[in-house]
């Protein structure tokens, strides 16, 4: 293992986004060529950015929601410690099992009052988190079901992006996450 620092989330997202300068790109590629951890991380970043609905993605890009923002948001949601953005050690040596898969809401929806998901493997507990477009947590709760009804305190505005994810517990304090999913409630402003 080299003693060079691993790539940051910002670098990986910029690489996926193709927004890093070509000089930095070369350095990133040479690190990726020799670092399994960062390759895995990059694949995760690509998966996250692709998980966004394409129409929604294009629509919100002018608002500055690029791949980097989405990935940072994801890390906020999954770890809540993005105050040190250069530290990217969400890595583990073993192959990660598949996390829960969101069913609804995804993309543009007419209404959203319940978060629903399924799980490829049986998990005994889930925790879901809903974020607004700035990454602020609106709602977070644990359940043994595969859905959560949003409390009345959550009032969703129309035509703005929200993000949510759910994690499933597979061991003592070990959780596997879904991707982060964006949705918007379409319609005239309330
Ligand atoms: Zn690395």
CA of 37 relative to ligand 1 center, distance in Å? 5
The tally of domains found in the chain comes to 2
- The answer to whether 67 and 44 have CB atoms below 8 angstroms apart is no
Is the domain of 63 the same as that of 107? no
Is the domain of 168 the same as that of 107? yes
Q: Is the pTM of this model over 0.75?
A: no
In this structure, what token pair is assigned to residue 171? 């061991």
Is the domain of 71 the same as that of 107? no
The string of pLDDT tens digits covering residues 120-175 is 777 889 999 998 877 778 999 999 999 999 999 999 999 888 889 999 998 887 88
CA of 87 relative to ligand 1 center, distance in Å? 11
CA of 12 relative to ligand 1 center, distance in Å? 10
10 Å Cβ neighbour count for 72? 16
pLDDT score for 150: 95
- Provide the domain limits for residue 64: 9-79
CA of 124 relative to ligand 1 center, distance in Å? 33
In this structure, what token pair is assigned to residue 115? 């978060």
CA of 7 relative to ligand 1 center, distance in Å? 6
């Amino acid at each position: 293992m080299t003693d060079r620092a691993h790539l940051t989330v910002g670098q990986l997202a910029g690489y996926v986004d193709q927004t890093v300068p070509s000089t930095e790109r070369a350095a990133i590629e040479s690190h990726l060529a020799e670092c399994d951890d960062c390759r895995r991380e990059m694949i995760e970043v690509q998966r996250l950015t692709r998980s966004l609905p394409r129409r929604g993605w294009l629509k919100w890009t002018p608002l500055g929601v690029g791949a980097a923002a989405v990935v940072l948001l994801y890390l906020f949601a999954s770890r809540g410690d993005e105050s040190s953005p250069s530290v990217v050690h969400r890595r583990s040596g073993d192959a990660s099992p598949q996390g829960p898969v969101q069913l609804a809401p995804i993309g543009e929806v007419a209404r959203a009052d319940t978060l629903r998901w399924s799980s490829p493997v049986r998990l005994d507990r889930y925790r879901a988190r809903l974020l607004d477009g700035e990454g602020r947590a609106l709602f977070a709760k644990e359940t043994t079901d595969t859905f959560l009804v949003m409390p009345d305190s959550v009032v969703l505005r129309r035509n703005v992006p929200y993000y949510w994810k759910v994690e499933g517990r597979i061991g003592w304090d070990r959780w596997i996450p879904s991707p982060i999913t964006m949705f918007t409630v379409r319609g005239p402003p309330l």
